[in-house]
Amino acid sequence: MSQIKKTLCRATGDECFSVKLENGLSVYISPNKKRVASAILSVQFGSVNSNFVLSDGTQTSLPDGMAHFLEHKTFETEDGGDAFDLFAQTGADANAFTSFNKTSYIFSCVDEFYESLDILLHFVTHPHFTPESVEKEKGIIIQEIAMYDDHPSWQSRTEVMRGLYGEESPLATDIAGTAESVSQASDEMLYSIHKTFYTPENMSLCVVGNVSVDRVIKACEGMKSTLNGEIPKTVFPPDAREAREKYREKYMPVSRCVFCFGIKDLPLSDDEEMYRRSCAISVISHAMFSQSSEFYSDMYDKGIINNTFSSGYEYTQYYAMYMFCGETDHAQTLYEEICRYAEQVKENGIDKELFENARRAVYASSLRSFENSTSTCEGMSEVYENVFLTPEIISNISYEYAMEVLRELFCPQAYTLAVIKPLKEKGN
């Protein structure tokens, strides 16, 4: 086991103890005195990791949606039950989700934390699949895919991803896959995927609550590796800043247009610098587009947006993007107004007093995230110990640096507008 590292949030006094165990598992623990404790076990295997190479040169391509399929089936226990029943016995609330770059298993509880942690570590690392249960799950997941196919907001985001990254990109494929790809799943395939990716070297555990650092570490030390330290290398297509398509549209049974405007950014190789950039964009976003901003008020008063309008930045090691979403009857006008406003701010800069007010607001929000163990744990699962440096990072973002980031971000060549239109407009 490597030496335990301690990270302190100076603004709140919260601490994070991080360590890489001998079995390869990365563990992040933030002890506190709050009533609720939370844990998230994440596997670095998401929808974009379907094409990968092992150290012996073996390259494998999996059907789309297998990370999500495996998430569903991992809850199945050896006796034919499921892990949710086990968590119910300890009073824990459990869940899981699959994203582009990882699969995460979560629980929160008031009592019996260590019993719940044992359940989490066991069921995630001891899979049990049968041909019959896999076949049954296919129908469930295909129904879930159909549900998202009928979800206008989800479809607008999907169309933006296709416009930004191209139809052939893993980012343009639904995380759950397609009915065709899901039908290719088998118990043998899932066991093989689990053995390849569900190994401690490819996992991280984040824990927040009234817990003992030593007891959490001891509970994790029994996890066994299956790959002797090898982590599969994802084959991901290289990309440029320019969006593949400027505009995409789709017709669905909606009463008004669903607007999604994406700006492609490129992730930085330096994780700390990338997080600093995202914090700066949070300040910029608040100043320019929050509900307290002049732009929001103007667009709202003109009836161009309503309270569904929002914007935000997200990134992983595979992609980075800024996105605007909402319902509107004036999609093209809204797009043009955002572009016009962005160019104006690029030229003139954000008012310095407005910038300082926005920075204070984002700083206060970062402090509030420590009030809840679950929200702190969720933040840790994304950026690990950097969460505890967030208030300090925000405080140190200079106006000059923020303006530099702003001028880089709003690049017209990186724009894609996607609009979900009412069926009644088709053919007009």
pLDDT, one tens digit per residue, over 405-419 is 999 999 999 999 999
Q: Is residue 393 in some structural domain? A: yes
Of 72, 67, 96, 65, which Cα lies nearest the Cα of 179? 65
Q: Is residue 135 in some structural domain? A: yes
Of 279, 250, 234, which Cα lies nearest the Cα of 102? 234
Question: Which residues, in sequence order, are bridge partners of residue 18?
Answer: 5, 28
Shared domain check, 158 and 257 = no
Shared domain check, 80 and 37 = yes
Residue after which a domain boundary falls, among 174, 205, 234 = 234
Does residue 423 surpass a pLDDT of 70?
yes
Residue after which a domain boundary falls, among 185, 205, 234 = 234
Question: Which residues, in sequence order, are bridge partners of residue 54?
Answer: none
Shared domain check, 251 and 158 = no
Q: The tokens of 292 are what?
A: 């307290």
Residue 69's pLDDT is what?
98
Shared domain check, 405 and 361 = yes
The answer to whether 363 and 394 are in contact (CB under 8 A) is yes
Segment 67-100, tens digit of pLDDT: 999 999 999 988 878 999 999 999 999 999 999 9
Q: Is residue 200 in some structural domain? A: yes
Domain count, the chain: 2
Residue 226's pLDDT is what?
66
pLDDT above 90 covers a percentage of the chain that reads: 93
Segment 187-239, tens digit of pLDDT: 999 999 999 999 999 999 999 999 999 999 999 998 887 666 678 999 998 89
The CATH number of the domain where 77 resides is what?
3.30.830.10
Domain that holds residue 140: 5-234
Residue 334's pLDDT is what?
98
Evaluated on CA atoms 126, 128, 134, 139, the torsion sign reads negative
Rounded to an integer, what is the distance from CA 256 to the centroid of its chain?
Answer: 28
Predicted confidence band of residue 428 (pLDDT cuts 50, 70, 90): low
- At a CB cut-off of 8 Å and minimum separation 6, what does 209 contact? 30, 31, 32, 34, 36, 37, 38, 39, 113, 373
Of 213, 272, 221, 210, which Cα lies nearest the Cα of 6? 213
Shared domain check, 187 and 270 = no
Does residue 54 surpass a pLDDT of 90?
no
Shared domain check, 141 and 42 = yes
Number of Cβ atoms within 10 Å of the Cβ of 82: 16
The answer to whether 414 and 293 are in contact (CB under 8 A) is no
Shared domain check, 230 and 99 = yes
Residue 227's pLDDT is what?
61
Q: Is residue 242 in some structural domain? A: no
Q: d(Cα 182, Cα 64) in Å, to the nearest integer? A: 7
Q: The tokens of 401 are what?
A: 């640096």
Q: Is residue 240 in some structural domain? A: no
Residue after which a domain boundary falls, among 210, 234, 258 = 234
Q: Is residue 84 in some structural domain? A: yes
**Mean pLDDT computed over 292-308:** 97
Predicted confidence band of residue 384 (pLDDT cuts 50, 70, 90): very high
3-state secondary structure the chain: CCCCEEEECCCCCCEEEEEECCCCCEEEEEECCCCCEEEEEEECCCHHHCEEECCCCCEEECCCCHHHHHHHHHCECCCCCEHHHHHHHHCCEEEEEECCCCEEEEEEECCCHHHHHHHHHHHHHCCCCCHHHHHHHHHHHHHHHHHHHCCHHHHHHHHHHHHHHCCCCHHHCCCCCCHHHHCCCCHHHHHHHHHHHCCHHHEEEEEEECCCHHHHHHHHCCCCCCCCCCCCEECCCCCCCCCCCCEEEEEECCCCEEEEEEEEECCCCCHHHHHHHHHHHHHHHHHHHCCCCHHHHHHHHCCCCCCCCEEEEEECCCCEEEEEEEEECCHHHHHHHHHHHHHHHHHHCCCHHHHHHHHHHHHHHHHHHHHCHHHHHHHHHHHHHHHHHHHHHHHCCCHHHHHHHHHHHCCHHHEEEEEEEEHHHCCC
pTM above 0.85, yes or no: yes
Q: Name the pairing type of β-strands 15-20 and 26-31.
A: antiparallel
Shared domain check, 307 and 262 = yes
Q: Is residue 241 in some structural domain? A: no
The answer to whether 70 and 103 are in contact (CB under 8 A) is yes
The answer to whether 211 and 115 are in contact (CB under 8 A) is no
Predicted confidence band of residue 344 (pLDDT cuts 50, 70, 90): very high
Q: d(Cα 37, Cα 40) in Å, to the nearest integer? A: 11
Rounded to an integer, what is the distance from CA 331 to the centroid of its chain?
Answer: 27
pLDDT above 70 covers a percentage of the chain that reads: 99
Shared domain check, 287 and 166 = no
Number of Cβ atoms within 10 Å of the Cβ of 184: 15
**Mean pLDDT computed over 323-331:** 97
Residue 424's pLDDT is what?
86
**Mean pLDDT computed over 27-35:** 97
Residue 2 or residue 299, greater confidence: 299
Shared domain check, 204 and 349 = no
**Mean pLDDT computed over 315-333:** 97
Q: Is residue 239 in some structural domain? A: no
Q: d(Cα 328, Cα 322) in Å, to the nearest integer? A: 19
Segment 252-294, tens digit of pLDDT: 999 999 999 999 999 999 999 999 999 999 999 999 999 999 9
Residue 407's pLDDT is what?
98
Query: Residue 326 phi/psi, 5° resolution?
Result: 155, 175
Shared domain check, 321 and 278 = yes
Average pLDDT of the chain, as a whole number: 95
Shared domain check, 150 and 14 = yes
Residue 252's pLDDT is what?
95
